[in-house]
Structure 1
Amino acid sequence: MTNLESQTDYALERAKIENTIAGFVLALDTRDIKGAVDRLAERVTWNYESVNGRPAAELGPDDLAARWNATLVHTDASQHFLSLPHITVNGDHASCVVHARVEIRLSNPGGSPSTSTNGTYTFGLVRAGSGWRIDAVTMTLLWNDGNARIMELAAEKGARG
């Protein structure tokens, strides 16, 4: 393989990886839970320990869909801002580290209607046919602003029906 061919292959794989991640967060922000789940591997290492203190866990797409249906879909809006992807491809595995700012809004009587989580996401991906699926998500927190109870309030709203 020539250097140009390897550069072209890398550029194509990079575009596929970026598209997988962008499609995932756009699906979450538009409450297309099925669309988000469709971009996941059969098992996903989910690590938000630096945000919420809970240890990383290996979850299936249905487990994550249940979480999002119990919380995120009950918020007024969310928006994931991701930038400056640093992508490494190693055979059938890849990683993508991005700067991240996640804004979530929920009108509530208990304080600020928004929260902002700022840090980096590290996505692990595994090749699936001609594309990629996400098999790991780690949020590394730099700082939070706003109402830290937004997702708890959203879960309470969802439980009320």
Structure 2
Amino acid sequence: MRHTDVARAEIAELLGDLFAGFESRDWARMADLVAEKVHLDHTSLGAPAPEDLTGEEIVARWRRGLHARKKNFHLLSLPRIRVSGDRAEVAVNCYACNVLDDGLGGGVWECWGRHDISWQHTGNGWQVTAFVFTVAYTRGDERVHTHTLD
């Protein structure tokens, strides 16, 4: 296998780890997978503007939004992984579903779209440096998606 093929296989495995981490709430593993600085663009989900966050800030945000009383599920399909030296770009289709506990009002929110995720090979292995999500379609209770416990 060429070096690029090895890198693509590594990134494909880490991509699975990343999204499995959302469901399992393995925040320590998630912290390992993000770089010290991460560009986040969720404007298509209603965020006011793209942001540059620390790795700690982005994991804290995920932890807050995907709390224990909100079930979540992600399904990825058709990942396209392009590697160039110590950088890689992944475009992957995604379906996400959030379900809020009945004690918090219940409800379901679903979303279809595409993640564009930038990776860089660092001293700690491959890490995410940018997340851009482009919504194709949503349905359900938006309150479920934005719900936090605080």
Normalising by structure 2, what TM-score? Answer: 0.90
Select which of 140, 144, 149 maps to 1:146.
Answer: 140
Structure 2 partner of 1:118: 112
4+ residue runs of structure 1 moved beyond 4 angstroms?
Answer: 108-112
Select which of 7, 10, 17 maps to 1:16.
Answer: 10
User: Which whole-Å CA distance do the structure 2 matches of 1:75 and 1:61 have between them?
Assistant: 24
Query: When the two structures are aligned, how many residues end up with a matched partner?
Result: 150
Gaps of 5+ in 1: 1-6
User: Which whole-Å CA distance do the structure 1 matches of 2:69 and 2:134 have between them?
Assistant: 22
Cα offset for 1:65? Answer: 2.2
130-139 or 96-105, which moves further after superposition? 130-139
Structure 1 partner of 2:49: 55
Structure having the higher strand fraction is: 2
SS at match of 2:58: helix
Select which of 96, 111, 117 maps to 1:102.
Answer: 96
Cα offset for 1:120? Answer: 0.3
Cα offset for 1:68? Answer: 2.2
Cα offset for 1:49? Answer: 0.5
Structure 1 partner of 2:39: 45
SS at match of 1:50: helix
For the aligned residue pairs, the C-alpha RMSD in angstroms reads: 1.9
Identity %: 24
Cα offset for 1:10? Answer: 2.1
What amino acid is aligned across from residue 137 of structure 1 in structure 2? Answer: F
Q: Contact conserved, 1:47 with 1:57, CA < 8 A, in 2?
A: yes
Structure exhibiting the larger radius of gyration computed from Cα positions: 1
